[in-house]
Amino acid sequence: TADSKTSLRIAIQKSGRLTDKTIELLKGIGLRFDDYKRNLMVKCRNFDVELLLIRDDDIPEYVQDGVCDLGFVGANVTAETGADVSVLRGLDYGVCRLSLAARKDGDIQQLEDFEGKTIATSYPRLTRRFLENNNIANTNIVTISGAVEIAPRLEVADAICDLVSTGNTLKANGLEELEVILESETQLIQTNKKLSPGKKKLIEKFLIRMDSHQQAER
């Protein structure tokens, strides 16, 4: 369990959109690391912390299971995995939304039109839940792991549910955003497993540093 280790273990994305901003934040609050790009596990030189660098998809479960005490990950990933974790802070990077989109002048123009349609997404759970909550019971959800936005052109799907930030990708693929199903940002999450008093203290210290850093940035 997380309890048996003394240093605070923090999961971050190994290589992707959140990596640089997260490392920047950790350095900004005074944590010093060497060689974080090359290793899966990196010890902090001046704080009782170690980083685990993994795929973002794995972060919520690692934190849920107490393999890591904390994690930096998109709210979209935590929501899709349904992991049992606590959200300590919302952060101002990795901001995006998960949206339903369809061909610009196609036969899907509003939410009701999704009935009976095929939807490609990397977020099948969130997509299904949203549609069910909106009384759209008959859809075929196709799970694909990348390049979701080309599915309609390939005629693999009638519509998609994907992350959007600027909207340029949708536009470039002749798609129109119809419904936002989740607003997302990077979050600091914490395990719900029991933590030792030592680790609780470390987390408190970590949060104080983070909060004063965020305030200074404003």
CB of 218 to Zn ion, least distance (A): 30
Residue 78 touching ligand PRT (CB under 6 A): no
End-to-end CA distance of the chain: 37
Could you give the C-alpha distances from 133 to 114, 127, 129, in angstroms and in order?
13, 10, 6
Residue 13 touching ligand PRT (CB under 6 A): yes
* Dihedral pair phi/psi, residue 214, rounded to 5°: -60, -40
Of the candidate residues 31, 77, 100, 131, the single one contacting ligand PRT (CB under 6 A): 77
Instruction: With H, G, I as helix, E, B as strand and everything else as coil, classify residue 61.
Output: helix
Instruction: With H, G, I as helix, E, B as strand and everything else as coil, classify residue 77.
Output: helix
CB of 151 to ligand PRT, least distance (A): 12
Binding partner selected for residue 164 from ligand PRT, Zn ion, none, CB under the kind-specific 5 to 8 Å limit: ligand PRT
CB of 27 to ligand PRT, least distance (A): 19
Binding partner selected for residue 18 from ligand PRT, Zn ion, none, CB under the kind-specific 5 to 8 Å limit: ligand PRT
Could you give the C-alpha distances from 216 to 29, 205, 209, in angstroms and in order?
11, 17, 11
Residue 56 touching Zn ion (CB under 5 A): yes
Residue 94 touching ligand PRT (CB under 6 A): yes
* Residue-level length of the chain: 218
Listed residue (18, 21, 42, 17) closest to 32, CA to CA: 42
Among the residue ranges 23-31, 34-42, 134-142, 163-171, the one whose residues contact ligand PRT (CB under 6 A): 163-171
